[in-house]
Structure formats: structure tokens, C-alpha cells
Chains A and B, each alone.
Chain A
Amino acid sequence: MNTRPVREQLRSLVVVLCLLMVVTSGATLAGLRAEHGIIDELANVLGPARDQNRFLLENATDAQSAVRGYLATHDPTFLEAYTGAEQRGRTAERELRTLLANTGISADNRRDYARQQVEQDTAFAAWWRFIDGAVAMTRQGRHVDLAISRALFDKASANNTRLGTGMTQLRLALRADTTDVLDIVICFVAFISAFTVVTTIFLARRISRSLTVPITELQHVVRLQRDGDTVVRADEAHGAVEVRDLAGVFNVLTDRNNELVRAQADALRLQEVALDVETALRRASGVDETVQMLCSTLGPALNARRVLVDTLYHSGKIIRSGQWHSPDLDDLPEISDELSVHLSRSLDHLWHTSGRLLLGDLTACDDSDQQWISLFRRETGAESLLMVPVGLGARVIGTIKVLYDEPRDWSSTEATTVQQIAAFLARAITQAESEAQQADYVVRLEQLDTQKTDFLSTVSHELRTPLTSIIGYVELLMDGAGGDVNADQERMLVVIERNTIRLRGLIEDLLVLNRIESGGLSLVTTAVSFPELIVQTVEELRPISDRTDVQVTVDIADDGATVVGDPAYLQRILVNVVSNAIKFTSTEGSVRISCAIDPDTDHVTVTCQDTGIGIPEGDMEHLFNRFFRASNATAHAIPGTGLGLAIVRTITELHHGQLALESIEGVGTTVTLRFPSAGGTAGRPRACPVGGADH
């Protein structure tokens, strides 16, 4: 196969074709030129010469006839004819001479013609002289021997015929030459054309083979590679230079592409490694397990011999927190103090610059600024190191080191992966520390809560005991157990009793709230009839309503209004709500408690409506805050702890109920409680006034 450049081959083809064309044209032109010369000689020289030669003979013959007539008759008419013929004959002689001297005739022929013409001229000159003499002699009356004239004429005529024959032969020869030249030119042109065609086909085939065959092979290789064959390569040994160059460049591109694909696959694998490590770190509990998990995941993934994770303390001391190694290696001992000092200095710089250190060949590192490297080699036996600091903010908290016991090149992707894992580790450590702090915080909070609960429990117990004595002895005194009590003393005892009851209520409320908050409140649930509970509560509170002369009315719409709940706590709600209503309603006011089932929502609704002092609008939003008391309540010196509504709301919510409160200052307050019904809505409505003015 031709391996010359295509350009050179095409140039050769063009040059050859041009040469052949020039040769063909030259040969054609030469043939035409030769043909032209022959035709020119035939047309311009030989033809006219033969005509003049023949014309000469004809005039000479005419002159001979005229002379003979004159000699026989002495008629001057013949003499005139003779004179005319002689002149035309001599003119023809001159023309012939001129023509035969033409340079268009070949030199040999010209010499030959010149000689024959001289002979003819001489013969005719002798005849012309004899005729002229004969004419003169005849005029003089002298006899002229015509036999001489005939002999001279015959000689001249013979010369004329010879010359004419020679020219005729030459013309025939020239005509033959014309045919020969034309044949030669045709043959030559035909040969050259055939040669050109053959040469062109030959060269075109060579060029085609040097181009199309290797390009087709290259195309095949490209298709194979497209279909996934990464081994096949283009042929760089055959074909034109350009095609071989193209194949070479293609192979280079293929190699680069394969490298890129390998690098990409490597990067993907390492990305998966990073994700695996992150997943493993999320599963780990505590810093130690996190570090060990990291080492054992990262080492095999990077085909490393060792992975070390060290912790850097504020003092500059570095402690080994975790390590992994190939099964054939042993654990490394703790890092030496000397290496620890040197390394800690480098780490800070590393963290604030590139964030990684790739040392493919530790033996080649003779930098005196990095003395730790030789120490590191001695302590670990590593020949190659990839080190990434683990940092939190501006602080370095440790390092991840990947070791190999032979020199090797660390790829940027590997370094980036380890950096990414270092970031995961930092985050995991932060999270673990945060979780530990949070757990500690929760434990401390729980301890504090327990202490608070215990404290409240203890305090309430300690308060209950003296309170029992106070209540008991006041009651004894009021019962007259200590003797008669006068009116002033009784009024004083009533004040003591009222405040004792208030104090007891405060202790009870505090304990209930404390139990709810500490989760110690256990509800004993059962079906509770709200109508019964309401009547019972109103009866219990009757002494108070009687004392303040407040009319309490109960309106039960559904006897079967039952809910599932703890009767003790539900009663506490009712006691708090109804006692509040009585407490804040002035003498001769009224409190109306109603109970019904809402058929739409199947909820039991309990409403307590009073005509009391109401609640200022600005206080409404704070009503459920602990120890908050409405401003008009404190202004009227109405006793209370400020815990009642908070307890009511909390217990209501524990029973999946809702509490609503509407109030207009000076008009009254309506408290609405709603609880999911336990079912059983039969019953007739009834209005049942109890207590108050009726009692």
C-alpha cells in the first residue's frame, strides 16, 4: 500500500497528466505543422508551378504553330499570334522560375528543379533564338529548315515534360507524406491518450487504496469503540501519511478517553465510599465508635495498608483515636511525643492552606522544614501518605492519615474523598458532642424536675401537717371545746378558718399542677354522669352560695349526658368553675349551670353562666397563666390563688375536652366546657333550681 502523503500523490497525478497533455498537444501541433508545410508546398508551389510549366509548353506549341503558318504563308497574322504566344511563354517561364525558387520547397527539390529549369530555359532559349532567326530569315526571303526547329522544340518540350513529370511525382510523394504524417499523429495521440487513461487509472487506484482502505478500517474501529470495545485501536502503520496521522491522533484520543472514563469510574466509586462512610458514621453511636467505623470503612475502600485517625488536643498533644490495617499488619503504638510536636505544627498550617497533604514517596521528602516526615516513616513504616486535617471552624481537632508501604501516586479524587470524609467526621464528632451535652442537659433537667417535684411534695406535706393542727384547733375553738366564744372571737376565728381554707386550696392546686407536669397524674376513667356530678357539686358548694346569697340554678337538658373520664378530676373542674362563679357574683346575683348533648357533634356541653363582676377585656388573654388574677378580682379583695383556671384547662385537655370563656366586665362570665359524649342521650329536659334564694 502506498504510504506517501495524499497531497504528494495527487500532485504526481496532476504533473503526469499535464506532461501527457503537453506531449499530446506538441505531437499534434508538430503533425499539423508538417501537414501544413506539405499542403502549402502542394497548393502554393507545386500546383501553380505545374500550371505555369504546362502553360509554357502550350504557348510554345502555339508559337511553333504560328511560326510554321507564317513560314508557309508569310501571313503577318501568324506573326502576331507567334509574338503573343512567345510573350505569354516567356512570362510563364519567369513565373515558373519564381515559383520554383520558393523556400517552401525542400532544398534538395529546389536544387533539382533549378537544374531542370536551367536545362528547360536553355532548350527553350535555343528554340526561341532559332524561331526569331527563322522569322527574320523568312522576312528576308531566305529558306528555313523546319527540321531544326522541330528538333529544338522537341528538346525543349522534352525538358518541359521531364520537369512536369518530376513535379507530378513530387506532388504524389507529398500527398503520400501527408497521409503518413496524419497517420503518425493519430497513432501518437491515440497512444498518448491510452497511456494517459492507464496512468490516471493506476494512480487513482493507488491514491484510492491509500485513502479509502485505511479510512474504512478507521471507521470500523470507531464503530467498535462506539459499541463499547475499549481495546481496539486504529492501524497507524498503513495508509497515507495523513490517514496514519489521523489514526495516531484517534488512538491518543481513545487512550485519553479511556483514562477519563477510568478516572470517572474511580471518582464514582470513591463518592460511593464517602457515602458509605457517612452512612456508617450516622449509625455509629459515640465518638470512639464513629472513628473506628470510619477507619474500617475507608481503609479497604482505598486499598490502603493503614488508616489512622488521631486527635489533636489544645495542648498540642496528638493521641491515636482509631486505626485500621491490613490483616497481615500489627497495630501501631501510640504516636511519639517528638512526632506529636512536629506534626501538630504542620497541621495548623495545612488546615489553613490546601487542607490536604499528598506525599507519594516519603523517601523523596528531604525537606528540612518537614522533619516530622522522617520520624513518621520510622514510626509507621509508611512509604506513601495521604493526610487530611479534621477541622472545626478555625481549629484543627485531628487528622485522617491513609498509609501505603510502597510509593504510589495519590489521585486528586482520593484526596478529595478523604477531605469529604474528614468533614463528615467533624460533623459526626460535633453531633456526638452535642448529643452528649443534650443528654447531659436532659438528665440535669430531669434531676431538677424531680428535685422540684420532691420539693413541692415535701413542702406540701410539711405544710399539710401544721395546717391540720390549725384547722383542727380553730374548729375545736369554734365548736366551743375551749369554752364559750364571744362574737369578736368568733369573727376572728372565721377569718383564720377562711384563710386556712384558702391556704389548703393553694396547696391542693399546686400539687395537682405539679402532678400533671411531672406526668404523675393518673386518670382513673369510668363513665361519669355529668348531671349527677353537677348536682353533687352544687350541693357541696351550697354553704358558700347560701352565705353570699347567690341563686344557683341547674338546667339539665339530657339526663344521659355521660362522658368517659376520672370523676374526681371532672368534679374538681366543676368545683373550680362553679365556686369561681359564686365567688365573683355579688349578693342576689345568679349562677346558672346547664348541661346538654350537642347532637351534631355528640359532645356533652356544660355551661356555667354568672351575673358576676366579669373580667376586664385586657385580662382575658392572661387568664390561663398561673397565678394570674384579674385586676378587678384583686381590686375587690376577692380571695384566690390564680391557679384554678390553669388546672381546669389542663384537666379538660387531658379528657380531650375544650374550654371556652366569654366575659363582659360588670355583666357576667360564661364558661363553656365540651367533652366527647360516652353515648346514651335519652332523657327529658328539666329545670332544677337548687340552692341560692330557694334555700
Chain B
Amino acid sequence: MVADDDRDIRDLVTFKLATAGFTVQSVDDGVAAWAAIEADPPDLAVLDVMMPGLSGIDVMLRARADERTRSVLVILLTARSKDSDIEAGLSMGADDYIVKPVGPRELLRRVNRVLALGHP
């Protein structure tokens, strides 16, 4: 699942993952993202951090708090590049933290790596 309020990026990520063979559902805000995860937990969710409604981190925390969605892998994708932000995101349960700007190839590589590693 891909959640980003920026349509261009959402489409870009969706396109790249879809062409790589994944089944991708995309949403444009945090509330929709949590609804989608709750309704049908995906294997992996690429969440933009700063989204209207619920932030990517809020969505991740909800997922981690719910037994049914706890196993969903989460990659946080954000423009916030401070070390403290990265550390905070990873410590709160993210499986990876990707700082924008990032190329589609690099993104796909990171997605594959997270899926391969699974939960730590």
C-alpha cells in the first residue's frame, strides 16, 4: 500500500512497484491509509510522514498497536532528513526510513530488502 498526499509521488511509487510486479493500493491521506490497512492488511505499507489527518507515524503506531495489523511492514518516506527524525521513526517501529528525494530504483531496492528481511 502506498500513502502520500502528493499525487505525483504517489503515482510514481505506485507505478514503479506495480511495474515490478506488486499489487499496489494507493491512498492520499493518513485516515484513508489506516482504513485501508485495517480493512485489508497489506504485506508492506509505504507511508509519507507528513499527511493531512493522520501522519504516517500515527498510522504506523495504530498498525503496531492492533493485533491484526501488527505484522504489516512499514517504510516511512519523508522529506524530514534530520538524524533525530530518522532515529525516532525507526525506534517507533518503522522497518525502513527513506529520505526524499529518492529515485524509483532505490525505492524498489529498499522495498525488496524490507520484504526479504521481514520483521527484525
Contacts and interface: CB of A to CB of B under 8 A. Distances in A.
B108 to A, nearest CB: 10
B105 A468 contact: no
Contacts of B79: 460-462, 464-465, 468
Contacts of B101: 464, 467-468, 470-472, 500, 504
Interface in B1-32: 6, 8-9, 12-13, 15-16, 19
A460 B80 CA distance: 9
B82 A476 contact: no
B112 interface: no
Contact of B102 (A468, A511, A522): A468
A465 B51 CA distance: 12
Interface string A605-649: 000000000000000000000000000000000000000000000
B16 A472 contact: yes
B120 interface: no
Contacts of B84: 520, 522
A641 to B, nearest CB: 16
A481 interface: yes
Contacts of A479: 104-105
Contacts of A466: 8
B83 interface: yes
A88 interface: no
A469 interface: yes
Contact of A471 (B50, B99, B102): B102
Interface string A508-527: 10010001000011101000
Contact of B83 (A481, A508, A524): A524
Nearest to B80: A461
Interface in B37-90: 50, 79-84
A157 B103 CA distance: 198
A460 B83 CA distance: 15
A410 interface: no
B118 to A, nearest CB: 26
B100 A475 contact: no
A643 to B, nearest CB: 16
Interface in A423-474: 460-462, 464-473
Given A515-B82, A522-B83, A476 B12 contact: yes
B27 to A, nearest CB: 17
A463 to B, nearest CB: 8
A225 B93 CA distance: 93
Contacts of B107: 472
A511 B83 contact: no
Most chain-B Cβ atoms within 10 A of its Cβ — which of A475, A479, A515? A475
Nearest to A522: B83
Given A511-B81, A515-B82, A522-B83, A465 B103 contact: no
Contacts of B82: 515, 520
Most chain-B Cβ atoms within 10 A of its Cβ — which of A466, A468, A471, A473? A468
A462 B8 CA distance: 14
Interface residues of A, number: 27
Contacts of A462: 79
Nearest to B6: A465
Nearest to B107: A472
Contact of B100 (A465, A524, A568): A465
A42 B81 CA distance: 161
A457 to B, nearest CB: 8
Contacts of B100: 464-465, 467-468
A460 B78 CA distance: 12
Contacts of A520: 82, 84
A508 B79 CA distance: 11
Nearest to A461: B79
B6 A476 contact: no
B111 to A, nearest CB: 14
Contacts of B50: 461
A462 B101 CA distance: 11
A461 B104 CA distance: 19
Contact of B9 (A460, A472, A504, A524): A472
Nearest to B5: A465
A494 B44 CA distance: 32
A339 to B, nearest CB: 63
B6 A472 contact: no
Given A460-B79, A461-B79, A481 B103 contact: no
A521 to B, nearest CB: 8
Contact of A476 (B9, B15, B80): B15
A471 B81 contact: no
Contact of B15 (A467, A481, A504): A481
Contacts of B15: 476, 481
A687 B73 CA distance: 44
A468 B83 contact: no
A524 B90 CA distance: 15
A657 B16 CA distance: 44
B25 to A, nearest CB: 19
Given A476-B16, A522-B84, A469 B102 contact: no
Interface in B104-120: 104-105, 107
Contacts of B104: 472, 475-476, 479
Nearest to B81: A511
Interface string A11-34: 000000000000000000000000
A515 B99 CA distance: 16
Given A464-B100, A464-B101, A476-B104, A469 B12 contact: yes
Nearest to A512: B81
B72 to A, nearest CB: 23
B6 A469 contact: yes
A241 to B, nearest CB: 102
19 contacts: A460-B81, A461-B79, A465-B79, A467-B100, A468-B100, A469-B12, A470-B101, A471-B101, A472-B12, A472-B107, A475-B104, A476-B16, A476-B104, A479-B104, A479-B105, A511-B81, A521-B83, A522-B84, A568-B83
Counting from the closest, the 7 A-B pairs by CB-CB distance are A464-B79, A461-B79, A468-B101, A469-B8, A467-B101, A472-B12, A464-B100
